[in-house]
Amino acid sequence: MAIDSTAGTIAMTTATLASLDRRFSARSRLGRRVRAAVRRQRVRCRRAADEIAKRTVDLGLSTAALVIAAPVLLPTVAWLLARGRVFDRTGCLGKGATPFDVLTFAIPATGVGAPLRAVGLHHFAVLVNVLCGQMSLVGPRPAPAGEWSPRNRLVRWRHRVRPGLVGPWWVRRRMNIAYGTELETDREYVVTWSVRGDLGLLSRAGLALLYGQGGSSDAPRRVSMLGVSIDNITVDDALDVIDGWLHTRGARRVAFVNADCLNIAVRRAHYRRVLGETSLTLGDGIGLKIAGQLLGRPMRQNVNGTDLFPRLCELADRRRARIFLLGARPAVVEGVRAWIAERHPGAFVCGTHHGYFDAQSEPAVIDAIRASAPDLLLVALGAPRQDEWLAAHLGATGAAVGIGVGGLFDFYSGRIPRAPVWMRELGLEWVFRLAQEPRRMWRRYLVGNVLFLVRVLRERWSTAPPVVES
């Protein structure tokens, strides 16, 4: 009843403000001020309505979960009462940096309690925090006091909302796409949250559970899949390596490999050798995450060129590095040049060339690259051509680092939109690409993905070293 009454009051206030907004003319100074004040108040009212809706969802879903689990929870609580302690408490900071205790059931980790903890029953106690209004179902992770400095501006952002059971950082970590920092992701959530967005996050969190745990920091630094050795590092690690190469100079090659690349490497011995000689081979895509789980070789992070590119441009901006762009159509590569110039003026694009050149014009292309004296050479010729081209010609170009970037230029030139974040968080970016270009992509995704999983399973069940086709 209280929620219904408050919602009615907000609706009436919004209607009154809309009436005032229409009555005052924008031509007078007073009218402009009143209209601005009315708009601000309308925003506050909409926000309050969203808060009520969010709280209603929290109460409804939490109550439903407790009712469904009651046949198990009630005997468990009675047993814990007989033991003398029902809850374990962890001190955390909530909305407005208010201290509160996150609850878990004090189920022992041994004996009878072991199977209960194995299915996560002890975590159900946190729904009491949700019912009490200390937490929400969706929001930033509840952080213990002292984990971050209160002077940090990003920390203050996360305290504007209630902490949650799940949030975008949790989902992205499980999907190996948690780039940047947790605080930056929390701020993004606070700025953009909506009830609809929260419901979407809850559904994605449920599906993310099916993919298993995210990449572990103690995973091996190199893993082998289908005969190709992959550097199992994060985006930040890769940028640190590239930064070091920009200082030392040389001819270092970076390759991104996804399920399609590994399928090609199984068939083509030359491409497999090229990848084996690459200075840095990075795992790209949900296919490699699934393969890593099947093989017992978990991938730390989905290090794809499209997500690494803006951070690479930030690095080039700081280092005043020179970039040469090679590949794609003329208009596309010029679109990427414009994107870099607008957002990272310190990263100088010293030259561009389209990817439609033949063997006769190739020497002139190499001469043009060398004359521009690039630090970074980004090659978008598609796999395996881009990696084989770099293996043959990077030294002649004089570039310190050559990177095969696949279809990245299409995204940053604006020719092809990238999949929305929610699809990337579910590992479904390939579905979006298939829908965009079905005639070109159907064989790669519908046939290639199945073939890749069959080969991974064959490698898992084989007691011999990975077998590749000649």
pLDDT surpasses 60 at 23: no
pLDDT per residue over 32-58, tens digit each?
Answer: 777 777 777 777 777 788 889 999 999
Q: Where are the domains of the chain?
A: 2-211, 222-412
Pairing type for strands 222-225 and 228-231 reads antiparallel
In tens, the pLDDT along 174-192 reads 888 888 899 999 999 999 9
Question: Strands 280-283, 348-353: parallel, antiparallel or unpaired by DSSP?
Answer: unpaired
Of 33, 140, 38, 42, nearest to 97 (Cα)? 140
51 against 370, higher pLDDT? 370
Q: What are phi and psi of 425, to 5 degrees?
A: -65, -25
* Mean pLDDT, rounded, for 15-22: 57
Residue 104: helix, strand or coil by DSSP?
Answer: strand
State pTM to two decimals.
0.81
Give the helix/strand (H/E) hosting 231.
strand 228-231
